[in-house]
Homo-oligomer: A and B are copies of this chain.
Amino acid sequence: MSTSGNDIDLTMQRIGAAARSAARVLVKTDKSQRSAALHAMGQSILACEKSILAANARDLEMALKSGAKSAFADRLKLTSASIHGMAKGIETVAWLPDPVGDAEAEWTRPNGLKISRVRVPIGVIGIIYESRPNVTGDAAALCVKAGNAVILRGGSEAMGSALAIRDAIAVGLLRVGLPAEAVQVVPTNDRAAVGQMLSGLGGTIDVIIPRGGKSLVARVQKEARVPVLAHLDGNCHVYADKAADIAKALEIVLNSKMRRVSVCGAAETLLVDAAGASRLLRPLVTALLEAGCEVRGDRITQTIDPRVHAAVEEDWYTEFLDAVIAVKIVEGVEGAISHIGKYGSAHTESIVTEDFAAAETFLREVDSAIVLHNASTQFADGAEFGFGAEVGIATGRLHARGPVGARELTTFKYVVRGDGQVRS
């Protein structure tokens, strides 16, 4: 679709107004209505499989014509299986606990006022993501679950697929009497539309969630004039303490690094307690090397094996997202905490130790969204937390940290019930 700057302004204003109006309807729904909406959305996606696959085939053809690589086309491609997976994902979200309307605290004041803090929808969520079209279904489901309207801006190559998924979702929403505009897809590839979303569409968008590579997230964090829930880096650490069980340490380090190297919860640096290095360092480094991981070590680590490369200062800051790990000797749990404070990205860090006092110090003092004791950093995931689904992981300090699930897509308000109280 080709649109002029002025057309884009109008399109985005219309989308924003429709989203706000849909949010006003959603805020009136109860848990059973939202759950029915999700079931209907999932069923409708199954019913629309043919048209979604056809739209996806057109997207793929265009992408290949304009010279897309095959890895890229793979991410873009939808199959009958992936459409069933999307529908199943929405169904899963439908069965999750619904946070909206829950009173998370209630108390009565001496004057008889009953105060409760009640979870309510945030309002309108903007999600900006890259090529995978199936994100459209997942993200829409979580937003509707939490009673929010959502404006989705996916990868430009997947726009036709996203619009077809939106059409299917719209049918589901309408079937249960909710506005189709609760889930909208920006129907233009023009990057000006992203700029408009980042400006908040004149107060319409309450929060932006970017999903994608570092450059996308960095742009969003830099330019957004509304709050952003995201993480820029997942520079995660495993610290093997002098009191670590070596079998657990081996399993946890290998899993944290190598289970999937491209996820944000993958470990990027291994810290080894100097007091335990003679026992721990060689088996850990050897196991990593044997597993096909490149090891970049400090001076002591380099003495373990000739295959260890010399780490440079930059390595401690780096999220490799690859089969590469930096390894460093530190002075006990305090040394680990201080290294993580300097080089970490406040995402996810794990301590391996049988010393519970050391573990508690680490868990308390490491200032990251997720801190683990004797477990793999790869558990940094909404599904693994029991959230059923997530729209991402946040490392900011306000509102949401760690996996962003349905609860984090809500906010709260105070409801005060009285019987004529006035203030003296």
Q: Interface 1/0s, chain A 250-269, versus B by CB < 8 A?
A: 01101110010000000000
Assess whether A5 is interfacial by the CB under 8 Å rule. no
A255 contacts B416, C-beta separation under 8 Å: no
Residue on B nearest A206 in the bound complex, by CB: B397
Given A107-B386, A245-B420, A367-B120, A401 contacting B397 (CB threshold 8 A): no
Segment among A72-80, A302-310, A406-414 that sits at the interface with chain B:
A406-414
Residue on B nearest A265 in the bound complex, by CB: B423
A374 contacts B418, C-beta separation under 8 Å: yes
Copies in the complex: 2
Q: Interface 1/0s, chain A 28-57, versus B by CB < 8 A?
A: 100000000000000000000000000000
Assess whether A301 is interfacial by the CB under 8 Å rule. no
A28 contacts B364, C-beta separation under 8 Å: yes
B397 contacts A123, C-beta separation under 8 Å: yes
A423 contacts B123, C-beta separation under 8 Å: no
Residue on B nearest A247 in the bound complex, by CB: B420
A375 contacts B416, C-beta separation under 8 Å: yes
Assess whether A355 is interfacial by the CB under 8 Å rule. no
A420 contacts B248, C-beta separation under 8 Å: yes
10 smallest CB-CB distances across A and B, nearest first, come from A375-B418, A255-B422, A248-B420, A399-B399, A398-B399, A372-B416, A378-B423, A376-B422, A375-B421, A374-B418
Subset of 22 A-B contacts with CB under 8 Å: A28-B365, A101-B364, A113-B375, A115-B386, A207-B398, A247-B420, A248-B420, A251-B422, A255-B423, A259-B423, A363-B415, A367-B413, A372-B415, A372-B416, A372-B418, A375-B416, A375-B418, A378-B423, A399-B399, A401-B411, A401-B412, A401-B413
